[in-house]
Amino acid sequence: MWNFASEIVCGCFQNDNPIQRLIDEVNELNIRKYGELSFVGAAVSTQHRLKQQKSGINADAWLVSWNLLGVADGVSSVESEGYDPSQLPQELLRNCIELCNLRESNRMRFDSASEAIFREHEIPYISYEFLKQIVSRSCCNCTSYGSTTCLLCFLDGNQLWITNVGDSQLIILRPSNYHTCELPKIPDISDSSIRKPLTGNSRCRLPNNVIIGGYQIVARSEVQQHFFNCPYQLTIMPDLDCSSEEILKRSANSIQSLRVDVNVGDMIIMGTDGIFDNIFDEDMIDIANRAEKNYSNIYYHNPILLADIIARELVNFALKAADPVAPGCKAKVTPFSEGALIDVNRHIEGGKPDDITVIVAFVHSNNSTNKTSTEPAIHRMNDYIGSSTKFNDDPSVYIINGQKFSSSCFKEPFSILDDFFTKSHSEDTGNTCSNEANNVNHLQSHTLKLETQNYTGLNIESCDNPVPHLEVKINGRKSFKLFQHLKKKI
């Protein structure tokens, strides 16, 4: 790949203007960024009624945008210690958006800063694991107490970058040439005392040689668990060392990363354990196949609507699977009951009542004839407690837990934050204090102006507050602070 330095090293410039070539290359990257592939789809989040009886707080957080999807499952048990389990997951995803946008504004500068941070703390650095760096650094900037899993995926051209901590999962479905077949009913748990696993794999209830047809799973993320129903987590609690260095090390050492090539038309299903503990892979495929068959015209004209239908079907399926067994009926086998039997030889009837969140997204070509004119919309549903959203390929919109944010909420502080990180890590350690003092003065001289935008159920008020005390107000309430600790290097 050509770069400006190569022209200098060879001792001469080519006949054409190297600066213009650099500009052309940047423009080409921008064309690829906005002109090829993006996510369009829908998200739904709710609570099972039995889980709601224990805690009325849905601890799941989720975000959707044209190139970034994410879910974070907060640990509800921290509520018994006086902490809101939903705060850390939401703050973590907001921080991830900030750093993702920061990287997109200047990848070379971001990667250099991440490398400096990781090497300074003796953490192995791999350049292509940028999502791992984003999640680790985002966790360091969180001020909420709690514990959460985190699953992110980022679409860059035809490459899907995935990073995960915990038991939330992501599967990629791709259309196949096999004809669809009707699935047998989910078996009952006849006699739990002598029952054996159906297949030896808690995700499958049919043998591997059975081809369902239609969509097929071509890739998936891996679950991270210490043992059954005890996932890896990102934790910030008073009884732990919560220094930036320790949080960074704990986070980086827990995160796994992978990359998958995707095609136009691939379907991404991302969800918390409330989805994957209650629905087998075969049934997810069956729901997708039936939806496409019954609503093929909808998919052709607007894949967003089909994604919304599939997401709602998945949530309803999971809610029913987690219901208690009615008198005189037998419990159905679920991935949760299979996992308990396989991993710890424990007999559990039925599914797992939990917070339930799912994102269904199609990989969409902006040059496709399929329309994506549906505007991002937030819905409060009557059929179950929760919210859903449909999102298109608009690069200016991010939706977090049913709240819509314009990218103007994030753009301005990124350049400031970028300068702060770069200066902090590019100077000698002996000058750190003076550099930070200069940066504080630099930050205080800036003002963030947010354009007032009104959406259904959401009003982002204009702000004219000097950084570092900058706050964004949503519906008249302080939502989050962008700069909590200026002296943090991470």
DSSP assignment of 246-298, as one string? HHHHHHHHH-EEEEEE--TT-EEEEE-HHHHTT--HHHHHHHHHHHHHHTHHH
Q: Are 63 and 93 in contact (CB under 8 A)?
A: yes
Band of residue 395 on the pLDDT scale cut at 50, 70, 90: confident
Rounded to the nearest integer, the mean pLDDT of the chain is 78
Q: Is the pLDDT of residue 29 over 70?
A: no
Residue predicted with more confidence, 120 or 368: 120
Q: Are 73 and 402 in contact (CB under 8 A)?
A: no
Provide the whole-model pTM: 0.77
Q: Which two tokens stand for residue 262?
A: 């995707």
How far apart (Å, rounded) are the C-alpha atoms in residues 190 and 329?
A: 10
Closest CA to 364 of 403, 388, 387, 390: 390
Which CATH homologous superfamily contains domain 36-395? Answer: PPM-type phosphatase domain (3.60.40.10)
How far apart (Å, rounded) are the C-alpha atoms in residues 140 and 246?
A: 9
Closest CA to 455 of 373, 372, 374, 377: 377
How far apart (Å, rounded) are the C-alpha atoms in residues 21 and 4?
A: 9
* Least confident stretch, 73-77, 94-98, 101-105, 396-400: 396-400
What is the 8-class DSSP label of residue 122?
A: T
DSSP lists the bridge partners of residue 400 as 63, 403
Distance of CA 297 to the CA centre of its chain: 29
The structural domains of the chain, with segments of one domain joined by +, span 1-35, 36-395, 397-482
How far apart (Å, rounded) are the C-alpha atoms in residues 137 and 490?
A: 6
DSSP reduced 3-state for 63: strand
Residue predicted with more confidence, 154 or 469: 154
Phi first, then psi, for residue 293 (nearest 5°) are -65, -45
> Which pLDDT score, from 0 to 100, does residue 410 have?
56
Cα-Cα-Cα-Cα torsion 34, 358, 130, 26, nearest 10 degrees, comes to 0
Band of residue 96 on the pLDDT scale cut at 50, 70, 90: very high
CA distances from 124 to 140, 180, 253 (A): 17, 46, 9
The rounded percent of the chain whose pLDDT value lies above 70 is 72
- Each residue's pLDDT tens digit, 213-228: 999 999 999 999 999 9
How far apart (Å, rounded) are the C-alpha atoms in residues 279 and 187?
A: 13
Band of residue 403 on the pLDDT scale cut at 50, 70, 90: confident
Q: Are 363 and 373 in contact (CB under 8 A)?
A: no
Band of residue 415 on the pLDDT scale cut at 50, 70, 90: very low
The mean pLDDT of 464-480, rounded to a whole number, is 33
The residue type found at 71 is V
Q: Is the pLDDT of residue 343 over 60?
A: yes
Greatest Cα pair distance, the chain, in angstroms, is 85
Residue predicted with more confidence, 194 or 412: 194
CA angle 103, 108, 114 (to 5 degrees): 65
How far apart (Å, rounded) are the C-alpha atoms in residues 374 and 393?
A: 10
> Which pLDDT score, from 0 to 100, does residue 408 have?
61
> Which pLDDT score, from 0 to 100, does residue 390 have?
83
